[in-house]
Amino acid sequence: MSNPSQSDWFTEQFGDEGTAFGLEITARLHHEQTRYQTLDVYQTKTFGRLMVLDGCVMLTSRDNFLYHEMMSHPALFTHPHPRQVAIVGGGDCGTLREVLKHPGVERCTQIDIDERVTWASQQWFPELCESNDDPRASLLFDDGIAWIKNCEPGALDAVIIDSTDPVGPAEGLFAVDFYRDCLRALAPEGILVQQSESPLLHSQSIIRKIHQDMAAAGFEHQHTLTFPQPVYPSGWWSCTMASVKTPLTRFRERDVAEKSFATDYYNREIHLGALAQPEFMKRDLNS
C-alpha cells in the first residue's frame, strides 16, 4: 500500500479519545478566517466535498444525509402536527432542507451566527441549499441563544439544535438555562432535538449530562436515537429528543410509510431501529 504524503490528507485527531479520522484530498477549494472560526472546503478523493470548521469535520457530500435526515424527520414525525420549527445553528442548511420537505410545516426559522458558513454551503454544497428560497424559510444570522430567549412563549412546535461540539461558541447550547428557554418557547406538545455526539465515546459524559440537564430544565421525557455517521468520531452518532407531553418512543408510522417526499436513509424501519438503545447506554444513562 502506498504511503501518501501528509499534505494529501486531511486528518482530524480526537486527542481525548486517542483516535483520528482522515480523508484523502485532491484540492483545497476555499479557506478563510470568519469573524467566528476558520472555514475550509476541500475536494476529497472518495467523499465528495468536505467542510471543516476550526479543524473539525462538519460534513461531506457523501454522507451528510445521514445526519440531516435523523436530526429532522424522527422529531417531526413524532410530533402530532408540527407547523412552526426553529433550527439553532445548521448554517449549512441541510437540516432546513429536510424540515421543509414536510408539507405541514408553515415556517422554519434558522438562526446561525456565522453567515459565511451558509455562503460556503451555497457555493460548494448547493444541493443542501435547495430550500433556502422556500417562502416558508427564514434565515437569520444572529445569536441563537438570545433568539430563543426572546422567542414568544409557546410559539414553536420543534426546536432543532444543529450545533457543533459542546466547546467554545457552542458550549452555551448544551446548558440547563438554554434548554429552559427552549421549553418556554415550545408549545405544550413541542419537541426539542439536540445533536448529542457519539454514543460509543460520550454516553457516560456528554449524553448523560444532556439527559440530566433536559430533565432539570423541565422536560419530562428524553430519548436518544443513534445512527451511523462515518466522518464523525467513532463513526456512530446520536441525537437526543426531549418533550413535556409528547411520548418520544411512538411516532406516526403510517405517515412515515406514506410520506410524499424522498429520503436516502430515513424510513419507518430506520426510525424504529434508532429508538432501540444498547445495554451499555441504558446503564450509562440510568447510573
Q: Which helix (H) or strand (E) holds 204?
A: none
Catalytic residue among 162, 181, 213, 284: 162
* Exposed/middle/buried for residue 8 (C-beta within 10 Å: 0-12, 13-18, 19+): exposed
CA distances from 206 to 12, 147, 191, 203 (A): 20, 24, 20, 6
Residue 162 annotated among the catalytic residues of the structure: yes
End-to-end CA distance of the chain: 45
Burial of 14 (0-12, 13-18, 19+ CB in 10 A): middle
Minimal CA–CA distance to 196: which of 235, 168, 230, 224? 224
Per-residue burial over 96-127, b if 16 or more Cβ lie within 10 Å, else e, is bbbbbbbeebebbbbbbbbbbbbbbbeebbee
Active site residues: 162
